Amino acid sequence: MTFFVTGTDTDCGKTLISSALLTAAKGETLGFKPIASGCAVTENGLRNSDALTLIEASTIKLPYEDINPYAFEPAIAPHIAAADKGVDLLPNRIAAQLKMAEYVGADFCVIEGAGGWRLPLSQGHFLSEVVQSMQLPVILVVGMKLGCLNHALLTAEAIRADGLNIAGWIANQVDPDMANQQENLAFLKDTLKAPFIGYVPYLAEPSASAVAEYLDLTQLS
């Protein structure tokens, strides 16, 4: 099964949650980060820490370029970084590159987005169009902090308006000092109307294996 992992915004914990999902899943696993900016220059080419984290958590090992085909050095919006390099980020090309998941024997696959649901691509397109074209179920990561209720509800509305299923959602405590955390979590449970996969508390030293303990993949629809 292949899922697309999106979040309420940047730094909501998509990579940590995606790697934990891969760790918690049974069978052969594979994670993709199709688009990434803020990559380091190495002797092997540009490398993104999020993509490397997914590779480490996956049991199926593919060449880096297959996992992260669009890598950009500056930590800016990917469509701007792509334009600076003369690269067109087009939904059909991205979808074609991701279809390899069907041929490598993955039992559980996650495709991690960048930013939020409406990440701009080239020529007026958005990354959400890739998810639509592939008809992927979506896992929503909610970064628990002030403002997350609005971000979570708007993101869920946009996903459903695009005709896609929210397979499940995860609350990730990114702000350890968030006021009324329990009340906010209860509101989201009542309002999002999607399977609740788990609540991840704030962890001083987070890891995929530690976060995986808080996830219940049997809730995925």
Distance CA 152, CA 194 (A): 12
Tens digits of per-residue pLDDT, 105-136? 899 999 999 999 999 999 999 999 999 999 99
- Torsion sign (Cα): 193, 200, 141, 68: negative
> Is 163 exposed, middle or buried (CB count within 10 Å of its CB: 0-12, 13-18, 19+)?
exposed
**Helix, strand, or coil (residue 188):** helix
CA 213-173-30 angle, 5° bins: 50
pTM of the model: 0.96
Pick out the chain residues at pLDDT < 70. Answer: 101-103
Residues catalogued as catalytic: 33
In this structure, what token pair is assigned to residue 70? 């669009």
| Three-state secondary structure readout of 7-74 | ECCCCCCHHHHHHHHHHHCCCCEEEECCEEECCEEECCEEECHHHHHHHHHCCCCCCHHHHCCEEECC
**pLDDT number for residue 154:** 98
What is the pLDDT at residue 99? 81
